[in-house]
Structure formats: structure tokens, C-alpha cells
Chain A
Amino acid sequence: MLIKEFIQVLRDKRTRFMLFGPPIVQMLIFGYAATLEIKHVPTAIVDYDNTEASRDLISRFAASEYFDVRHLRADQRQIPMLIDRGDVTLAMQINAGFAQNLGKGQTAHIQLIVDSSSSNTALIGLGYVNQVAGNFAEDYQMSRLMRLSPAMTSGMPRVVLDHRPWYNTDLSDRWFFIPGVIGNLIMVIVVNLTAFAVVREREIGTLEQIMVTPIRRVEFILGKTVPFFLIGLLDSILVTAFGTLWFGVPLRGSIGVLAVGTILFLICVLAIGLFISTISRTQQQALMTAFFFIMPAIVFSGFGTPISSMPEAMQWLTYLDPLRYFQEILRSVYLKGVGLDVLWRQMAAMAILGIIMLTISVFRFQKSLD
């Protein structure tokens, strides 16, 4: 039984490739394409003041790697078109009187238009603008005070933020996404394979043939799941090795903890796959139903964006998602290097979910065989 299933999966050259090719390609695409980092934001600046002060401000923007100042001598009337066309994301206008206001100690205004159709780019871009402008303002104020009363500046209080990103010191998106992709891949591969395996037999009619052989139910279920369990395990070793060796994502925690998490997660996804197979008659149904499960599961897991930013009702739903816990385990073991003392909660949640889902699935599965 076990051997038959293995042979079936590994016989077809294309399926064989599909088991191991896409994981690698996906890792590659995710590793290189998935970046939320924003640099070189295309920027237009219109300077109607054209003084030393305004040029100083512009040069600070030009010097920053976050901005790509493209249209310097643009006319104010060109700005709407530049933004409409998507040529620039930021457009800044410095009005005449900028330096004069600064010199008088009054507030000088800068007009800024942001194309926020891509909100993340706009948000991060705005953050950078505030940073550059804030530094400019601070420097300018200091030099002004220096002129007015030099004594005062020597004892000026100041609070600065000394920020230290931990675990991912360079804030690399790759380090964030690669461990996450491992979870997604295992889920997609194992759920699909398991769901398909049973449904295909039913569709072709070989299920009846097997049922008349002396194979017991339990043996059948085991025969249908153990190979995929092993394939899932193999795939996870493959992608883990690839992520570590190719992309250099540090695996700081213990492989043992990772293995325990992976096994618990595999039980959960096998149960989901098995469940889908019991409610599908055709392979097409199985695939679409699997999609129904997998898509929300990936979104709810916090794979791409933080769970804390979701609406509260949705945050509660994420607790039912085994991938949520596995993502936390993957990222924690990889980047934080923490052990079971921290991750036991996630492990326990997955174990409970796995047992419940497996029980339901096996029960339904037995019924569907009758």
C-alpha cells in the first residue's frame, strides 16, 4: 500500500519534478522579488525660492538613497501630470519666501503631494520626508540660535532615539519572507497531494478495487497519508537547507525544535487534505476546495502583514489557523533562536488543532468509504 502510493507519486517524471522544482523556484522568486523595502522614491521638486536655504534642503533629499530626485526644474503646473502618469510618487514645492520665513524665525511651509495609490510606498516615503525635513529643521534652528545667543546652544537638552532592530539587524525582507515561504510551501504541497490522492482513486474507480482487497481501513488511511508525510518532511528539509545555504538566512535555533514544529504542522495539513478528499468527488473540486482553505490560511497566518493590524474579529479567526503557529515557530527558531521554553504555546496549539482535525477527518473518511 505504502509502496504503491510512493511509486504512483514518484513514477511520473513531471509529478516528481513538481514535488521538488516549484519549491526551489518559489524560494528563488520570493527571495529576490519579495521586498517591501522602499528606496529611490521618484521625486519631483519645484523650487520657487531658489535660495541657499532651499537648495540646502533639496540637496539633502538628493543625497538620500531613499529619494530619486528626477524633475528639479519642473513647473508647478506639470506636477499633476507627473503624478497621474506615475512618473513620480512625491512632488514637493518650495514657495518663494521660504528662506525669508526661516530667517525671521517663522514657520516655513513646504507643499507636498504624495501619490498614495500604493499606500505602503506613500507611507514609508512620507516617513523619510519627515526624517530629512526634521533634520534640516533641527540643524537650521541650532545655527539660528547659535547666532542669536551662542551661550544657549551649548547647554541645549535633546532627546534622541537610539533604535536597535534585533534578530534582523539590517531589516532584510529576505530574512522575514524566506522562513515564511517554507510554511506556505509545505502547506500547499501536502494539502494538495493528500486531497488529490484519494479523490483520484475515487474518480478513476480504483477506490472500489482497493476496498475489496483485505486491506483494513486504518491501513488504507495510513497508506494514503504516510507517504505524503514523508514527502512533506523531505520538502521541508530541502527548502530549509536551500533557505539557509543559498540565501544565508541564519538558522539560530535548534533543528530539533524546528523538526517538532514541522511534524506537528504536517499532521495538521494532512488532516486538512484528508478532510478535503472526503468532501470532494472530482479532482477539480478537490483543487478548488483546497484553494478555499489555503488562501485564507496563508493570509491569516501573518505571512506578509502583521496579525495585529487586522480587524479584531479576524484576529480571533487566526487562532484556528495552524499555519499561524507554524509561521511563528519558523521565524522564531530561524531569527530569534528561541527554544521550547518560549514556543511551547504554539506547539501545544498545533498539537490540539492537529488532533481535533485528524479525528474529524479520519471519522469522515471512514464514513465516506462506506
Chain B
Amino acid sequence: MVKEIERAGIPIVHVTNLTKISEGIGAHRILRGNSVLHVFGNPSLPKKQEEGFRKELVEEALEMLTEAPKDGQHALIHE
């Protein structure tokens, strides 16, 4: 799905813990989530702090949308 959305010319960040698979299919922007079970969550934190954590992770994804992979690399990957 990521690649078809990229094909349409729309920048996309794939947020997942299976970053190797994402890299393997050729996604360009990959961000490691907190866990397979809660990509944008961190249940070990109190609710308010978890919301802050989530917002920061979304901001990181947004920043990645404005960036490109380094020269010679296919994907921009934040582990």
C-alpha cells in the first residue's frame, strides 16, 4: 500500500516495527514504531505522558516527510 501511495506522488511515512520488511519492499521513509502491538503507543507511561510521547513520534514522522534518503541510499530509516 505504501508503494502505491508513493506511486501516486504522495509522500508517506511507514511507521512499523518490521522495518526490514518495509525496507525490503522498497518504502522510502520508514520509522520504527514503539511496538508491533502499539505502534504509536507506550502503555508503560501514564496517559498524559503517553500522549506526549505519541505527539513527538508523529512530529518525527512529519519531519521525515520533508527529508529525503541520503545519497546512495534507497530509504530514510529512523530506527
User: Does chain A bind chain B?
Assistant: no
Report A's interface with B, CB cutoff 8 A: none
Report B's interface with A, CB cutoff 8 A: none
